[in-house]
Amino acid sequence: MLLKKRWPFVGLLTALLLVGVFALVGPDKAANAEDDPFLDLRHDACTVIMVAKGASVDGSTMTTHTCDCGTCDWTWGHILAADHKPGSTRKVYHINQYKTWPPKEGLKWELYKKDFTGLEIPEIPHTFAYHRGMFGYMNENQVAISESTIGTVRKLVNNTPAAKFDITMLTLIAMERSKTAREAIKVMGDAAEKYGYGFNDDGEMLAVSDPNEVWIFEIMPAGPLWAPETGKPGAVWCAQRIPDDNVSVCPNESRIGEIDLNNKDFYMASPNVISLAIEQKLYDPAGSKPFSFKRAYSPAEGSAMSSQGRRSRLWRFFDIVAPSLKISPETQNMDLPFSVKPDKKISVQDVMNMTRDKSYGTIFDPVKGIRGGPYQNPNYWRNTRLIGVSNVEYTSLVQCRSWLPDPIGGIVWLAFGPQDTSCYMPLYAGINDLPKSFSVGDHFEFNRGSARWAFDYVDFHTQVVYSEAIEDVKKAQLEYEAAAVQKTTEIDKQAQDLYAKSPAKARELLTKYCLENANKVVNAWWELGDKLLVKYNHFGFYDGAKRSRGRGKPYSQTWQKAVRMIDILTEPEPQR
């Protein structure tokens, strides 16, 4: 009798649970993921945060690239400056962002040379030194680049061999040939127009910066029928400068809207920027609306709310930097501002913290209720696209500073693996080499000689008991990352004093510091991974000093109640 009386109650609980689930995720999530337009792969790609010089605490410009992929090459290298004889040529290669080879076959940055396009362009007398990962990131002149894929309309995609340049190759020649951000944009734009852009890539955004300016550069192919013989540009592109006291973000969505090409201090574009849109029927000049680059070439409808958080990064960034604006998550992303003035000026540590943001405390909180499991792990709940994700190869934070000589003023802060369990390490623009452990490694083969695997080792052990282990990681970040940020002023002064006497000696000093610091951090992360394995083995919370096995914090009451409710709901009906 008692069991029979309980079933109506269980039925009520089931109904309430289902209502709650649909209210939480919306009806679209109950359907097949393939039917959900917000789940296409580009929205799991890269986030670029941009800070202009007047919006930063110290007057530096900063941009980030969270290289969110999950299977891509993570290796880094340093390319030396070089002099070239008159008449020399530069070979152009197709470099696929996503393609990798087994380590036994060799490194990507040698094997890509098998994909020669057949094009050789005139070489310049002198090419600059730079640091490169998946793209070119910073050269010795403090010209810096950060990338985010934005996509474009299908009719403009050009995967034919006529398109000689893809986005990686464009960034490499920009590094080699540019002294300013504007020069870099012109180098890339001219090459794409003349020789064609596409093949491996379609719509792409690059944050292009130097010590004085930050630009958003967006580029798309000109369609599959383009060929040099047409005499038309082989790409369409536009660039807009971020006001000096503003910040912006690109979360895989086009950010450039209406443009004013008469205002040359803030806008640059290819000559076909409007005519191609008219020709392809992407814009009607007879209509009532002014031309908008993003609406013509890369429309992305939806808001943070309507996408159930899949498009929440744009709103979330503005929510972090300018909460006083009270921008609603229901605001359509296409209607959000190009940039905003932050409520307070932003430091390099602030930007590092932003790259780790998990939307805690918002409607998209990934550990709300039972989403994070018993140990409040924000990586379990994947319906919301956060700024900080677990599938990141590395994050680069490029910082350019006008008051210092270029080799000293530029810094690439590099963090391998997921930002929340990693550590940013400084790589000055003027250093002559990178740690060898940065140049090797592969997703599919464990390698203790690879720096990236040290950070993955820590991340793997953190995921098991996240709420507990992340506190150990934060202590290590404070010891190594925050300490490096604080030490920057001291290293700057030492290098600047030496630079006045010998620029070469200053480079040697910076190289020695960066390599020693990086090796120290990598070793510390290997040790941290070992400690986490021992401390949380079998959920035991082992204390080596006391030689005791304790207990961690009790599971949250919410999680325990949810488990009991599921037990009730799934208990089999008694046999009669």
User: Which pair of structure tokens corresponds to residue 242?
Assistant: 């971020």
Strand 204-209 vs strand 214-221: parallel, antiparallel, or unpaired?
A: antiparallel
The residue segments making up the domain with residue 369 are: 33-403
pLDDT digits (tens, 9 = 90+) for 31-80: 333 333 433 444 457 999 999 999 999 999 999 999 999 999 999 999 99
The yes-or-no verdict on residue 569 having pLDDT over 60 is yes
In this structure, the answer to whether residues 18 and 143 fall within a common structural domain is: no
In this structure, the answer to whether residues 84 and 181 fall within a common structural domain is: yes
- Rounded to an integer, what distance in angstroms lies between the CA atom of residue 341 and that of residue 242? 10
Q: In what helix (H) or strand (E) does residue 425 lie, and over which residues does it extend?
A: strand 425-428
The confidence score (pLDDT) of residue 25 equals 35
The confidence score (pLDDT) of residue 507 equals 98
559 vs 10, higher pLDDT: 559
The confidence score (pLDDT) of residue 44 equals 57
Please give the radius of gyration of the chain, using alpha carbons only, rounded to the nearest integer. Answer: 25
Q: pTM, whole model, 2 decimals?
A: 0.92
Among the candidates 403, 423, 444, a domain finishes at 403
How much is the average pLDDT of 451-474?
97
In this structure, the answer to whether residues 545 and 566 fall within a common structural domain is: yes
The confidence score (pLDDT) of residue 554 equals 77
Asked whether 437 and 77 are in contact (CB, 8 A), the reply is no
In this structure, the answer to whether residues 433 and 556 fall within a common structural domain is: no
User: Which pair of structure tokens corresponds to residue 435?
Assistant: 């740690």
The yes-or-no verdict on residue 161 having pLDDT over 90 is yes
**Would you say residue 393 lies in a domain?**
yes
Among the candidates 403, 434, 457, a domain finishes at 403
In this structure, the answer to whether residues 558 and 430 fall within a common structural domain is: no
Angle at 283 between CA 280 and CA 289, to 5 degrees: 180
In this structure, the answer to whether residues 528 and 399 fall within a common structural domain is: no
pLDDT band at 555 (very low <50, low <70, confident <90, very high): confident
Mean pLDDT taken over the chain = 92
Asked whether 125 and 177 are in contact (CB, 8 A), the reply is no
- What's the gap between Cα 40 and its chain centre? 17
In this structure, the answer to whether residues 15 and 60 fall within a common structural domain is: no
In this structure, the answer to whether residues 445 and 554 fall within a common structural domain is: no
- Percentage, residues of the chain above pLDDT 70: 92
DSSP 243: P
**Would you say residue 422 lies in a domain?**
yes
In this structure, the answer to whether residues 528 and 552 fall within a common structural domain is: no
In this structure, the answer to whether residues 161 and 180 fall within a common structural domain is: yes
In this structure, the answer to whether residues 254 and 311 fall within a common structural domain is: yes
Residue 558 contacts by C-beta under 8 Å, 6 or more apart in sequence? Answer: 369, 370
Among the candidates 375, 403, 431, a domain finishes at 403
**Would you say residue 575 lies in a domain?**
no
Query: What are the backbone angles phi and psi of residue 93, rounded to the nearest 5°?
Result: -115, 155
Query: What are the backbone angles phi and psi of residue 472, rounded to the nearest 5°?
Result: -65, -40
Structural domains in the chain (count): 3
The yes-or-no verdict on residue 22 having pLDDT over 50 is no
**Would you say residue 116 lies in a domain?**
yes
Asked whether 292 and 330 are in contact (CB, 8 A), the reply is no
Enumerate the H helices of 98-209 as residue ranges: 108-111, 167-177, 181-195
pLDDT digits (tens, 9 = 90+) for 280-324: 999 999 988 999 999 999 999 999 999 999 999 999 999 999 999
**Would you say residue 576 lies in a domain?**
no
**Would you say residue 372 lies in a domain?**
yes
The confidence score (pLDDT) of residue 544 equals 87
Query: What are the backbone angles phi and psi of residue 564, rounded to the nearest 5°?
Result: -65, -40
**Would you say residue 438 lies in a domain?**
yes
How much is the average pLDDT of 343-352?
98
- Rounded to an integer, what distance in angstroms lies between the CA atom of residue 358 and that of residue 493? 36
pLDDT band at 559 (very low <50, low <70, confident <90, very high): confident
**Would you say residue 476 lies in a domain?**
yes
pLDDT digits (tens, 9 = 90+) for 465-503: 999 999 999 999 999 999 999 999 999 999 999 999 999
Least confident of 21-25, 50-54, 255-259, 382-386: 21-25
How much is the average pLDDT of 512-529?
98
How much is the average pLDDT of 194-211?
98
pLDDT band at 540 (very low <50, low <70, confident <90, very high): confident
The yes-or-no verdict on residue 23 having pLDDT over 90 is no
Comparing C-alpha atoms, which of 282, 202, 207 is closest to residue 251? 207
532 vs 556, higher pLDDT: 532
In this structure, the answer to whether residues 58 and 200 fall within a common structural domain is: yes
